[in-house]
């Protein structure tokens, strides 16, 4: 492969969206797992509803809301669905924790090695710029990422093709020279359809999607990206 840039999804790939579980468990005993899973599912569902309901609007979906706002709305829905109290203070505590999600342990070492190879590194995320900047700073990744790209600028969430096209607008190289890395199989599929080389970080040991084509590469954590680049 003649790869010149490695572009990462953020949530679930670089930042552990389920690290919120510990605080959720503290606030709502015996409900931490249920909250973290349902919250994530509803968050992604909202992005799809918005983009699928107005996919061809060149100025962005008229239903668009920033990812931070959708994250809060999906949390409120989740707590209501689970019939849990949701005072403003409790919601604010969980949202502040979401702004500082724990990075996966291997991230920094992998990013440093990619930079040492002379590769461009970037994030492409549904996340709004403010929440991405907060997560990147909290994880100490400011010096190892060349670009942090948010779909907020176009008002369409992944897997809209326009979202993946943002990478080429900001990094002036061909799509076949880009390796896109995501732990979300639906995101890896969308990026593969778009034309990127793709690597699925399969942290949960899930089966491949029945929809094809499958990602070009896969592995259990971010270190597997280095193995893919050697092939």
Q: In what order do the strands lie in the sheet with 5-8?
A: 147-150, 120-125, 5-8, 178-182, 197-201, 217-219
Burial class (CB in 10 A: 0-12, 13-18, 19+), 121: buried
Spell out a b/e string for 128-143, using b for 16 or more CB atoms within 10 Å of the CB, else e: bbebbebbbeebebee
Q: What is the pLDDT of residue 1?
A: 67
pLDDT score for 42: 98
Helix (H) or strand (E) holding 125: strand 120-125
Indicate yes or no: pTM above 0.85.
yes
pLDDT at 131: 93
Sign (positive/negative) of CA torsion 91, 149, 146, 122?
positive
Domain spans of the chain, in order of start = 5-15+102-230, 17-98
Per-residue pLDDT of the chain (231 residues; tens, 9 = 90+): 699 999 999 999 999 999 999 999 999 999 999 999 999 999 999 999 999 998 777 778 899 999 999 999 999 999 999 999 998 899 999 999 999 999 999 999 999 999 999 999 999 999 999 999 999 999 999 999 999 999 999 999 999 999 999 999 999 999 999 999 999 999 999 999 999 999 999 999 999 999 999 999 999 999 999 999 987
Answer CATH for 17-98 from 3.90.550.10, 3.40.50.12780, 1.10.150.240, 3.10.310.30: 1.10.150.240
Pick the CATH number of 5-15+102-230 from 3.40.50.2300, 3.40.50.620, 3.40.50.1000, 1.10.10.10: 3.40.50.1000
Which uninterrupted H or E stretch holds 200?
strand 197-201
How much is the pLDDT for 57?
Answer: 76
74: how many CB neighbours lie within 10 A of its CB? 20
Say how many Å lie between the first and final Cα of the chain, rounded. 8
- CA distance linking residue 106 with residue 91, whole number of Å: 30
Catalytic positions, written as ranges: 9
């Amino acid at each position: 492969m003649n790869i010149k840039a490695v572009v990462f999804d953020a949530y679930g790939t670089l930042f552990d969206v389920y690290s919120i579980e510990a605080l959720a468990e503290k606030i709502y005993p015996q409900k931490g797992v249920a909250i973290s899973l349902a919250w994530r599912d509803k968050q992604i569902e909202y992005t799809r509803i918005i983009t699928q309901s107005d996919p061809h609007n060149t100025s962005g979906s008229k239903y668009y809301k920033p990812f931070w706002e959708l994250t809060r709305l999906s949390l409120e829905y989740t707590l209501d669905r689970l019939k849990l109290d949701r005072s403003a203070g409790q919601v604010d505590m969980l949202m502040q924790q979401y702004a500082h999600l724990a990075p996966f342990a291997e991230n920094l070492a992998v990013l440093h090695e990619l930079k040492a190879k002379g590769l461009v590194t970037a994030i492409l995320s549904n996340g709004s710029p403010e929440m991405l900047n907060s997560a990147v700073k909290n994880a100490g990744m400011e010096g190892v990422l060349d670009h942090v790209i948010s779909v907020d600028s176009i008002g369409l969430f992944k897997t809209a093709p326009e979202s993946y096209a943002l990478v080429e607008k900001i990094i002036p190289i061909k799509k076949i020279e880009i390796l896109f890395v995501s732990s979300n199989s639906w995101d890896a599929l969308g990026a593969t359809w778009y034309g990127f080389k793709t690597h699925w970080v399969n942290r949960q040991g899930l089966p491949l999607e029945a929809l094809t084509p499958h990602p070009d590469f896969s592995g259990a954590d971010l270190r597997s990206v280095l193995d893919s680049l050697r092939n």
